[in-house]
Every structure is written in C-alpha cells, then in structure tokens.
A = this chain, B = another copy of it.
C-alpha cells in the first residue's frame, strides 16, 4: 500500500480499500464518496503505482504519433522531442503517416480506437475538412494531444502550437521593410487552422502597411512537388512577378530556389524569400535562407508531456477533471541573406 493511498484514507476517514475502489471508479462506491476521493486525490497530487496500474489495465505502453509526412524537418525534430519523453517514461512510439490524405487519416484513427495504443499525438492532414472521426475518437476518451496542425473544431482538447499569426505577420513585415512591393504567399492547404492563421497574419501586415491584397499572389501547393514547381515558376515567370516570397512550408521555399535558378532570377536582388523552416542547411545555402524557425523539438516534448499527464490522470480516473491546456511556444525570426535589402 503506497503512503499516498494511506494518507487519503486517513484524511477522509475511509478504509484504504474504499479509497482504492473509488479511484478505480468501482460501482461499489457511491458517486458522492468518489467525488470526495477524486477531489482530494487531485489536491494532494496522488500518484498511483504505475506498474500495478499498467498490469491491472493491460496497458500497451505505446503511444501513436500521427503526422502528414516524414520528409519535413519540422516533423522529424518534433518526433525526436516526443521520443525523448516517451523513452524516459518507458513507452514505445509508433508513427503513422496520413500523406495529407483524409481517407488514410480516418482509417488510421479507426485502427487505433480499440486500445492498440494508450494515447495519440496528432498533426492533422491538410485535406482534413470534416472532423467526425476526431470527434468520435475524443468521445471514446482516447487521450489525444494535437500539435502544430491542430483541430479547431473539437472543444476541450489539448494542443501545442506556435504563434502562427504573429510569426506570419512578422515575416510579411520583414519583407515589406526589406523593400518588397509585391509579396506572394505560398501555402499547402486552405483547410488547416495554421494555414488560416498564417494567412491572417500576412493579410493584416499588408493592410497595416497600406499594401493591397492581390489574390493572384497566393499559391496553394499540393503534395506533388512537380505541380508546386510549375505553379511557383509560373508566377515568377510573369512580367509583374512578386519581389517577395513568404513560404509557409519549407519544401515550397526550396522549390522557389530551384525556380529562381532556372529562371535566372537573383536572390535577394530580384526576389526575396522567407520561410517557415527547420532546415539544418538554411545558413549554408548559396544565398542563406531567412527563416521563421518553430521550436519543433520543444513542441514535440511539450505535446508528449501533456499526453503523459492525461494518461496519468486517466489511470486514476480523473476524467471528469478538465486539464486540457493549449500551449503556445514562440517561433524565432532568423534574418539571413535571402531577404537582404538592396543597397
């Protein structure tokens, strides 16, 4: 018997057996008593014996990470952050890719509903525009934390994000202050809440600096790099081409570099570029890339922390106590040569 359990029993003047049953949500204990036990347990920060609890409930000791794709430095760093925490807790990490495909995402969620994993960390696919599968998962009380690409449609859900609106505002402002008059915004999807927030930051910066919004300067990419290349090259090949590019995704910035080389456009003289990016080689590029860098590793760590908090409380049947945090970490602007003002 752990000392904590004993302490709860003493404080409430109940038997240890009753406390234990109450914590396990047993029908043998009245709901009034359970409420009292849970409230005090939470107040005293009661720690259930994790090993006993794991045996009793046959936990899988496994968490799932659902991400759109792997060839993206943000996600690889975030996974490293998640994995660092999971290792400390003795959990395995399973990674599932949606390939930014809604059908695939739904199939993964269905696959995970029946206790295959203890909890889920998720960044939703860019195609996801209906959320029934996520609502269902949430109703089934599968612990879940969203990170980066969160689902705005479910209430009371834990999220870890970055300051997307402010960062996008700053990025656009930086291009304006570097002398850009026609700023293009490149993003992957119209659906994602982060896409909307970044778009919002871009639009408000334009407005605040008295610049007109031109819909032709917004490019929506896809999962196909060849298509993205064609689209980006096409806007850069026009006479009234943009003189500034703000990419909300790293891969679109790299494609912009290749398009500029192929069109003989000089960076930053003719085209300035800034991108959300966690590219390790950003400072080493022929023209070093100015980036908005998300704290990807920390986002992964925070999301995993939140999930393990949920798991701990679920073990102790604290479901009725809400603790869904929404954590926002700051991104940093790293100014390099790709946005240098012409002298």
Residues of A within 8 A of B (CB): 70-71, 73, 76-77, 79-80, 83, 87, 92-97, 99, 104, 108, 111, 254, 257-258, 279-281, 284-286, 288
**In the complex, the 3 A-B pairs of residues with the closest C-beta atoms, listed nearest first:** A95-B95, A94-B94, A281-B281
| Minimal beta-carbon separation of A60 from chain B (angstroms) | 9
Question: B70 contacts A92, CB within 8 Å?
Answer: no
Question: B83 contacts A92, CB within 8 Å?
Answer: no
Distance in angstroms between the alpha carbons of A71 and B73 in the assembled complex:
8
Set of chain B residues within 8 Å of A258, measured between Cβ atoms: 284
Which of A108, A279, A280 is the most central at the interface, judged by chain B CB atoms within 10 Å of its CB? A280
Set of chain B residues within 8 Å of A104, measured between Cβ atoms: 87
Which of B71, B76, B96 makes the CB contact (< 8 A) with A92? B96
Set of chain B residues within 8 Å of A254, measured between Cβ atoms: 280-281, 284
| Minimal beta-carbon separation of A71 from chain B (angstroms) | 5
14 A-B Cβ contacts within 8 A? A70-B79, A70-B80, A83-B99, A87-B104, A92-B108, A93-B95, A93-B96, A93-B97, A94-B96, A254-B284, A257-B284, A258-B284, A281-B284, A281-B285
